[in-house]
Chains A and B, each alone.
Chain A
Amino acid sequence: MPLDRSVVQNIAHLARLELNAEEEAQYLSQLENILGYFRSLDEVDTSGVEPATEIVDPGDVVRDDVVDNPPAGEELLANAPSRHGRFFRVPKIIE
């Protein structure tokens, strides 16, 4: 699976990172280097090994169906870069 410029561009797009050409080239070479080293994992025989999706058994913290949050106060909206009343405002979305 060779890494190339178009893969880097696609990844950057998925991650919503606007990169210029220079950055693309830089990330391409760094990721190649890093992933090249990481290919050492190929040596490991993992047949029949379960992926570690749980680290410890944390029991199960769940909630009862109770409304215990107060109505949202101003402090929750105060960090918004742009607002319209109590709405968050964003550039117009075109579908």
Chain B
Amino acid sequence: MLEPIWQPLAQVAKELDAGRLSSVELTTQVLHHIEATEPKIHSFLTLTPETALEEARAADERRARGERGPLLGVPIAVKDVILTKGVRTTAASRILENFVAPYDATVIRRLREAGAVFLGKLNCDEFAMGSSTENSAFGPTYNPWNLQRVPGGSSGGSAAAVAAGQCFAALGTDTGGSIRQPAACCGIVGVKPSYGRVSRYGLIAYASSFDQIGPMARTVADCALVLEIIAGRDPRDATSAAQPVPRYSAELERPLRGLRLALPQECFGEGVQAEVRDAVLSAVRWFESQGVAVVETSLPHSRYAVPTYYLVATAEASSNLARYDGVRFGLRLAEEAGLLTMYGRTRASGFGAEVKRRIMLGTYALSAGYYDAYYLKALKVRTLVRRDFEAAFTRADVVAMPTAPTTAFRLGEKTGDPLQMYLSDIFTIAANLAGLPALSLPCGFDQEGLPIGLQLVGRPFQEAQLLAAAHAYEQAHPWKSQHPSL
């Protein structure tokens, strides 16, 4: 049998229910494992062992009183762009280095009610802007499968922690691929829900019309368990959707027969690592062997997804990040030099290079004289990207493609060339532009032993269908029992 820390979330909850393990014991084991592995991986920005053990004790008491629940007493961790009351929440930025969240995000509140144990806050690219976690102001995270490689980003800390057995599940956020791409890089499952599925209240905004919080875990079922707790309408988020939330974990066994899978031709051409293409196509063949109809499709505007995304998202970001002005919270520099200098120097020193680059880009896209040519144009192309998917969904239920064109790249490999870094999001961005649910799950390894991700994209609010398809594949393929050796 697996050590408790490597068990799936659903399994460990059973152990806790049976009384073979207490949450305090489990949390203690996990904390020891973190202590042992953290120097190599650096997935955490803040660890909260004391409160974690308190929460574990409280969960044990709740269980003793007869309460049950898949997350009750289970240690998880949270990307550091999500507010956790009383705990430092930095967005991996100097500008929030000492910011103590005065309230809980809605997702955190829901997970607390479910009895989750919070281990701490996970590293990421600053303000979730990046694809490698190298943009963290507090140093990069290392891929547990190969410490010379990035874990992907921006939720690189979340992916690495889950892959390294440092937690049973983590929350990530996905604006242009920031859950799926690191999930692929680290060989785990990551779900980006439909836009509006999960409340954004308490998520430090990067690009409001894209951002979604989602679960990252070692199995599809574990993601389903977390998603059904955090999803749903929130009176504090006007963009949260009213659709009822299915019990995703109860719908995993939906049969595959009758499902139609579409393969967009654009996602298998030049620039895709051969092993990635082969692994994804082999996964598609497995679906076909299970009675799934596979059709070729085209997403003709997907080649414009990167510029479209980087114009709209940075425009929103330039506005969302205006509140970091040194007045009410966060870093303040040069106040003696007057207001204008205080603003300019605080923000210039508090933000890292990539964040400043995106603020500049977004400010430019919105500024007088450029709005129509850049921002408005991009919004129109965004409509066309969405229509591409609508057309594909007339003939198929799920679109399948690689999560990323390559496996995890080397640290430092792309830091000198922002545009190359942006292009690593090329397959994930379209789902964000269209607000669609999408997930990444492991579908093999390349020759260097680096994980490969298969991406499935579904219709709005059809997460259950995606999860069921992914679960069926996962059941037939034993990737989930492989762990990085640390």
Chain A residues close to B by CB (< 8 Å)? 1, 7-8, 10-12, 14-19, 27, 30-31, 33-35, 37-38, 40-42, 44, 46, 49-53, 55-56, 58-63, 75-76, 78-82, 88, 90-93
Contact = CB atoms under 8 A, between A and B. Distances in A.
A80 B434 CA distance: 38
B307 interface: yes
Contact of B102 (A30, A59, A79): A79
Given A1-B373, A56-B241, A50 B361 contact: no
A52 B434 CA distance: 9
A93 B339 CA distance: 7
Nearest to A43: B304
A30 B357 contact: yes
Contact of B332 (A11, A17, A56, A82): A82
Nearest to B329: A79
Interface string B365-385: 001011001101111111110
Interface in B401-423: 418-419, 422
A56 B196 contact: yes
Nearest to B362: A15
A18 B333 CA distance: 12
A58 B367 contact: no
A-B pairs with lowest CB-CB distance, top 4: A18-B344, A51-B379, A79-B329, A55-B435
A38 B357 contact: no
A34 B361 contact: yes
Given A15-B359, A17-B356, 12 more contacts: A12-B360, A14-B367, A16-B344, A16-B347, A27-B357, A30-B418, A31-B361, A33-B418, A38-B307, A41-B308, A53-B379, A80-B328
A18 B363 CA distance: 14
Interface stretch (B11-19, B37-45, B230-238): B230-238
B347 A15 contact: yes
- Identify whether the interface residues of A are mostly helix, strand, loop, or mixed: loop
Q: Is chain B's interface secondary structure helix, strand, loop, or mixed overall?
A: helix
Interface in B64-114: 98-100, 102
B89 to A, nearest CB: 10
B134 interface: no
B384 A49 contact: yes
A27 B355 CA distance: 12
A35 B422 CA distance: 12
Contacts of B234: 61
Interface in B220-255: 233-235, 237-242
A16 to B, nearest CB: 4
Given A1-B369, A16-B344, A61-B235, A51 B307 contact: no
Contacts of B304: 40-41, 44
B335 A34 contact: no
A55 B195 contact: yes
Contacts of B318: 15
Interface of B: 98-100, 102, 194-196, 209-210, 233-235, 237-242, 301, 303-304, 307-308, 310-311, 318, 322, 325-332, 335-345, 347-348, 351, 356-357, 359-361, 363-364, 367, 369-370, 373-374, 376-384, 386, 418-419, 422, 433-435, 460
A56 B419 contact: no
Contacts of A91: 335-339, 342
B209 A55 contact: yes
Contact of A31 (B98, B332, B364, B386): B364
A50 B419 contact: no
B176 to A, nearest CB: 14
A79 B380 CA distance: 40
Contact of B380 (A16, A19, A49, A61): A49
A19 B348 contact: yes
Contact of A33 (B310, B373, B419): B419
A51 B326 contact: no
A16 B196 CA distance: 32
A11 B363 CA distance: 6
A52 B377 CA distance: 10
Contacts of A11: 360, 363-364, 367
Contacts of A62: 238
A16 B242 contact: no
Contacts of A49: 380-381, 383-384
Contacts of A12: 360
A27 B351 CA distance: 14
Contacts of B361: 31, 34-35
B447 to A, nearest CB: 31
10 contacts: A15-B322, A15-B359, A18-B347, A27-B356, A27-B357, A33-B419, A52-B386, A58-B242, A80-B328, A90-B339
Contact of B382 (A16, A52, A61, A82): A52
B367 A46 contact: no
Contacts of B196: 55-56, 58
